Structure formats: structure tokens, C-alpha cells
């Protein structure tokens, strides 16, 4: 301060204000805190156990995470998942979210038990296998990484970067050259042998149990489809998978039905099944490339599917995975006289040793594809009625090129008969639209006791086809 200012008693200038401290993360809001605490208390008392993975719970935990309390959000999820006797199906969405949060924080080591649980969930298996493969690769466990990467390709052949990693890992572990019966991960498989008789040409598709190739039968000079068991299912420790693979193939071969893919040859030593070739592709391909099917054609295909199911159900077989990807055509679908064929009995529920036919509900692990599973199938109750329900979803998709529900409804697991109400533009196409709609609602009833049986559904579809022909409905 200058001399004159001190002399006349002026006060010194105040120092500039300090900058405000950085804002601290907002703590959990009272509403969310009360809700989550109440939920944990109710769960401990045996109440509200179906809410663990509900959208409301996920939203509240997301709010915790977004407010900056990442560790607190993870603790809430772990706490909810640790409550005993909560139905496993209710925890799946929460478990999947927890895995993603651990991955975001670079803490995948902690998520391994959760990932291993998600492998069995169709909706999350692909992502779970990929993350397990990535974790194993980073730790240098090449065999384990390869096994999980191959499982990824078994579900999505075009998953980013996975093909290259499979090829590189196969070279590292000394399995670069494919042999008979082994999954071929490389893009160019032309000329690879699957035994002396069959020459593999190219890959057609992958499923949960194996890979299907276009092949040339050298003895009979015809094109066939060769299915090779995934190598990770072929070890001694997975002998049950190998046995089931060929048991199901023999059952499929025994059906001998025009609407079931024919099995031509089996070779357990090469882990190989040879089937007739579906040169016309799958119904999924047709719906993707050509859109909804005309009503009469959709009803005809529906009747063919039900006829194949009726033959399987008489043998006590529940397919469990009826969907457009498992419905195939011998030739181009728009050529006259081409019928649909049911294939891929890889997760079918077979008769037990006593030969029970599956008429009564049997408890089993919930398997199949979520969008086509009936409410009781999601609970692990398997009867022929589950296949009838799936046929309703497929018929709806035939007519609209989409399934009846949104992703949110699908995840919630709610099923209502009105989900199968057809759009007005579809109903406007036919003079018997009301009859078609009634048939669809009856085979898609969420209550299996009110659902048509396979035989009733087949008879109803045949009546619809006759009415369409009489009404002059075009193909």
C-alpha cells in the first residue's frame, strides 16, 4: 500500500476471491435410497423377488452410477444378486448390467462368475462368451480363449475381429490345419475334406452345437449339407454333448416326414451328420430379403410346419427352437410346389428312457430362442404346446416380417393374447381375415391349457387354406 493511502487511513484492498471448490458427486437421492433399501428388506422377507431385474430397479441403479457413485452402484447390484431364493430368471438383466459396469471399470476379473452364469442365457450368451474370450486372451490362456471365441462364431459368424483371433489362436495352440469333424473358422474352406467321401465347399451357417457346410458327395455326385460338431463340445469331458448330438440326429432321421430335413448319413468318428441340402435358404433369409409373405402362402407354410410338429410330437419330441432360421427350403421359395422343412433339433426335448411322450408338463432347463418361447417354456415346462406357441410367432412374422413384441416386452417376459393382433393392413388383404386372426389368437394364447393342441392347430390351418382357395385368394 502506498504512503498517502496509509496516511489517510484507507483500508487495504481485499484479496481476490478464491475459486469455488469442484462440485462433489451428488449422493444417492432420497427417493432411490428409500426404494432400494425397501426392496432389499422385502427380498429378505421373501417378497418382491420378481422385481430384482425389473426396468425400474435398473433405472434407479443407473442413476446412482450416473451421479458419480460407480462403486456404490456396483455394491447395490451385488447386494441384490446375493439375496437367496430369488428366481434366477429375475436376476439375469441385473447380472448382465453388472458385467458391463465391471467391464467399463476394467475389473473383468471380478465379473467372471457372473459371465459364466450368463453363458446359459440365450439373450446374453454371445456377449458373455466374447468377454470371457477377451479375458482369457489377455491372461495368455489361449485354449480357453479359443474355446470361447469359437462359441461366439457359433452364434454370429460375422462378429467383429473374432474370425482373425480364432485363426491366430489356432496357430498358437497348434490346430491351424482343420481336420475331419473340426470347426473351420477360416473364411475360405473350399477343398477341405470331411472324410474321403464329402468335400466341403463353403460354410452355410452356425448354431449352438455345430457348423453346417455345403459339401459335395463324391460317391453319389450330389450336393449335401454336412454338420460338424463344434470342437469344444467334442472332448472326453463333453461326451454327453457328443452322445446327444447323434441321438437327436437319429431321432430326426426316424421321423421320415416331407417337412423335416432328411438325415442321409452319420459318422460318429468324424463327428459328422450329413443332411439333404436346403438350397432355397431359410425362412429368415426370405423374410429379410423379400418381406412379408402373401396370406395364402403363409398359411400353407404354417400348415406344413404344424404337420412336421405333429409327427415329432407323436414320437414324444418337443422341438423347443422353432423359428424362421430353422425352417428351410429345398429350392427357391417362390417356385411352385416348394415346401418348408423343419431342421436343427439341437436343443429338442427327447423322450426319456421310459418313452414318455411329453404330453404332461416336464421340467427341464429353459432352452430355445427368447422371442419364440412360450411363457411356460421360459419357466422350464416343456410340452408340445410350447411348439404350437412358437408356430404362432412364426406365422405372425410370416405376415408382418417382424415378431409381435418390442425388445422391452421381450425382456420383461410378459405375454398377452392381444400381442398377436395383426395390423389393419394385413387384415385388409383377405376376405377371411377374421378367421385367420381367431386362429392366431388361439394358438398364441399365453395359457397352454387354452391353446390349441398340435392336431387341432393343424386341422384349423387346413380349413383356413381351403377357405382361402375357395375365396380365390392368390399365392
Is 400's pLDDT higher than 60? yes
In sequence order, what are the residues at sequence separation of 6 or more whose Cβ sits closer than 8 angstroms to the Cβ of residue 221? none
What is the pLDDT, as a whole number, of residue 187?
37
Check residues 313 and 57 and name the one with the higher pLDDT.
313
CATH placement of domain 198-276: 3.30.200.20
CATH placement of domain 283-470: 1.10.510.10
Q: Between vectors from CA 197 to CA 191 and to CA 203, what angle results, nearest 5°? A: 40
What is the pLDDT, as a whole number, of residue 181?
39
With pLDDT > 90 as the criterion, what percentage of the chain qualifies?
Answer: 26
With pLDDT > 70 as the criterion, what percentage of the chain qualifies?
Answer: 80
Q: What is the mean pLDDT of the chain?
A: 80
Considering 124-133, 249-258, 297-306, 417-426, the range whose residues carry the highest mean pLDDT is 297-306
Domain with CATH 1.10.510.10 in the chain: 283-470
CA distances from 459 to 258, 299, 307, 454 (A): 18, 12, 10, 9
Give the three cell numbers for residue 247: 441321438
Domain with CATH 1.25.40.10 in the chain: 30-172
Is 17's pLDDT higher than 70? no
Sign of the four-CA dihedral 241, 247, 251, 252: positive
What is the pLDDT, as a whole number, of residue 10?
55
Categorize the per-residue pLDDT at 15 as very low, low, confident or very high, splitting at 50, 70 and 90.
Answer: low
Per residue in 110-121, pLDDT (tens digit) is 889 899 888 878
Domain with CATH 3.30.200.20 in the chain: 198-276
What is the pLDDT, as a whole number, of residue 426?
84
Is 389's pLDDT higher than 80? yes
What is the pLDDT, as a whole number, of residue 354?
46
C-alpha span between 224 and 304 (Å, rounded): 22
Per residue in 366-385, pLDDT (tens digit) is 677 888 999 999 888 889 99
Per residue in 344-357, pLDDT (tens digit) is 887 888 775 444 54
What is the pLDDT, as a whole number, of residue 53?
77
- Average pLDDT of span 180-205: 56
Is 321 catalytic? The answer is yes
In sequence order, what are the residues at sequence separation of 6 or more whose Cβ sits closer than 8 angstroms to the Cβ of residue 279? 223, 329, 330, 331
C-alpha span between 153 and 241 (Å, rounded): 18
What is the pLDDT, as a whole number, of residue 450?
94
- Average pLDDT of span 104-129: 86
What is the pLDDT, as a whole number, of residue 29?
54
Is 180's pLDDT higher than 60? no
Give the three cell numbers for residue 276: 439333404
What is the pLDDT, as a whole number, of residue 312?
94
**Nearest by Cα to 376 from 89, 123, 119:** 89
- Average pLDDT of span 294-307: 94
Query: Is pTM beyond 0.75 here?
Result: no
Q: CB under 8 Å, gap of 24 or more: what pairs does 375-380 form? A: 375/413, 375/415, 375/446, 376/448, 377/320, 378/89, 378/413, 379/89
Is 264's pLDDT higher than 50? yes
Active-site option among 42, 265, 321, 352: 321
What is the pLDDT, as a whole number, of residue 20?
61
Per residue in 410-445, pLDDT (tens digit) is 666 677 778 899 998 888 878 888 999 999 999 999
Per-residue 3-state assignment (H helix, E strand, C coil) for the chain: CCHHHHHCCCCCCCCCCCCCCCCCCCCCCHHHHHHHHHHHHHHHCCCCHHHCCCHHHHHHHHHHHHCCCHHHHHHHHHHHHCCCCCCHHHHHHHHHHHHHHHHHCCCHHHHHHHHHHHCCCHHHHHHHHHHHHHHHHHCCCHHHHHHHHHHHHHHCCCCCCHHHHHHHHHHHCCCCCCCCCCCCCCCCCCCCECCCCEEEEEEEEECCCEEEEEEEECCCCEEEEEEEECHHHCCHHHHHHHHHHHHHHHHHHHHCCCCECCEEEEECCCCEEEEECCCCCEHHHHHHHHCCCCHHHHHHHHHHHHHHHHHHHHCCCECCCCCHHHEEECCCCCCCCCCEEECCCCCCECCCCCCCCCCCCEECCCCCCHHHCCHHHHCCEECHHHHHHHHHHHHHHHHHCCCCCCHHHHHHCCCCHHHHCCCHHHHCCCCCHHHHHHHHHHHCCCCCCCCCCHHHHHHHHHHHHHHHHHCCCCC
What is the pLDDT, as a whole number, of residue 132?
93
What is the pLDDT, as a whole number, of residue 16?
64
Lowest mean pLDDT among 138-142, 180-184, 321-325, 458-462: 180-184
Per residue in 48-100, pLDDT (tens digit) is 877 877 888 888 888 888 878 888 888 888 888 887 777 777 888 889 999 99
What is the pLDDT, as a whole number, of residue 238?
62
- Is residue 136 within 8 Å of residue 148, measured between CB atoms? yes
Give the three cell numbers for residue 24: 462433489
CATH H superfamily, domain 30-172: Tetratricopeptide repeat domain (1.25.40.10)
Categorize the per-residue pLDDT at 279 as very low, low, confident or very high, splitting at 50, 70 and 90.
Answer: confident
Lowest mean pLDDT among 21-30, 73-82, 125-134, 209-218: 21-30
Amino acid at each position: 500500500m502506498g504512503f498517502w493511502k496509509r496516511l489517510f487511513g484507507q483500508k487495504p484492498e481485499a484479496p481476490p476471491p478464491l475459486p469455488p471448490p469442484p462440485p462433489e458427486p451428488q449422493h444417492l437421492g432420497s427417493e432411490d435410497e428409500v426404494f432400494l433399501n425397501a426392496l432389499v428388506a422385502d427380498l429378505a422377507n421373501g417378497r418382491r423377488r420378481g422385481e430384482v431385474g425389473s426396468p425400474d430397479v435398473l433405472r434407479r441403479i443407473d442413476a446412482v452410477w450416473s451421479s458419480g457413485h460407480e462403486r456404490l452402484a456396483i455394491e447395490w447390484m451385488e447386494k441384490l444378486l446375493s439375496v437367496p431364493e430369488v428366481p434366477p430368471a429375475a436376476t439375469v438383466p441385473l447380472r448382465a448390467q453388472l458385467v458391463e459396469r465391471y467391464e467399463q471399470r476394467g475389473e473383468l476379473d471380478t465379473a467372471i462368475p457372473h459371465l459364466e452364469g450368463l453363458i446359459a442365457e440365450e439373450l446374453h450368451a454371445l456377449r458373455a462368451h466374447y468377454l470371457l474370450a477377451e479375458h482369457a486372451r489377455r491372461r495368455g490362456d489361449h485354449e480357453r480363449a479359443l474355446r470361447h471365441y469359437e462359441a461366439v462364431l457359433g452364434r454370429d459368424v460375422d462378429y467383429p475381429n473374432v474370425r482373425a483371433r480364432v485363426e491366430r489362436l489356432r496357430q498358437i495352440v497348434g490346430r491351424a490345419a482343420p481336420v475331419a469333424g473340426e470347426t473351420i473358422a477360416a473364411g475360405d474352406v473350399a477343398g477341405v475334406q470331411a472324410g474321403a467321401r464329402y468335400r466341403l465347399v463353403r460354410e452355410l451357417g452356425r448354431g449352438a452345437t455345430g457348423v453346417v457346410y455345403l459339401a459335395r458327395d463324391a460317391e453319389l455326385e450330389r450336393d449335401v449339407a454336412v454338420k460338424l460338431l463344434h470342437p469344444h463340445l467334442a472332448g472326453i469331458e463333453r461326451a454327453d454333448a457328443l452322445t446327444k448330438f447323434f441321438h437327436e440326429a437319429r431321432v430326426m432321421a426316424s421321423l421320415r416326414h416331407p417337412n423335416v430335413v432328411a438325415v442321409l448319413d452319420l459318422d460318429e468318428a468324424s463327428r459328422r451328420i450329413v443332411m439333404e441340402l436346403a438350397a432355397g435358404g431359410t425362412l429368415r433369409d426370405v423374410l429379410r430379403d423379400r418381406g412379408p409373405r402373401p396370406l395364402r402362402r403363409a398359411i400353407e407354410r404354417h400348415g406344413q410346419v404344424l404337420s412336421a410338429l405333429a409327427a415329432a410330437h407323436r414320437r414324444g419330441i418337443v422341438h423347443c427352437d422353432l423359428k424362421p432360421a430353422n425352417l428351410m427350403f429345398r429350392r427357391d421359395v417362390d417356385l411352385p410346389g416348394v415346401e418348408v422343412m423343419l431342421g436343427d433339433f439341437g436343443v429338442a426335448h427327447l423322450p426319456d428312457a421310459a418313452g414318455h411322450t411329453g404330453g404332461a408338463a416336464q421340467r427341464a432347463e429353459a432352452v430355445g430362442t427368447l422371442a419364440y418361447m412360450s411363457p411356460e417354456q421360459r419357466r422350464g415346462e416343456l410340452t408340445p404346446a410350447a411348439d404350437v406357441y412358437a408356430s404362432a410367432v412364426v406365422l405372425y412374422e410370416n405376415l408382418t416380417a417382424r415378431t409381435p413384441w418390442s425388445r422391452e416386452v421381450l425382456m420383461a417376459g410378459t405375454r398377452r393374447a392381444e400381442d398377436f393382433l395383426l395390423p389393419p393392413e394385413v387384415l385388409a388383404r383377405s376376405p377371411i381375415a377374421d378367421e385367420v386372426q381367431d386362429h392366431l389368437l388361439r394358438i398364441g394364447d399365453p395359457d397352454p391349457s387354452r391353446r390349441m393342441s398340435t392336431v387341432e392347430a393343424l386341422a384349423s390351418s387346413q380349413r383356413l387354406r381351403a377357405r382361402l382357395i375357395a375365396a380365390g385368394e392368390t399365392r
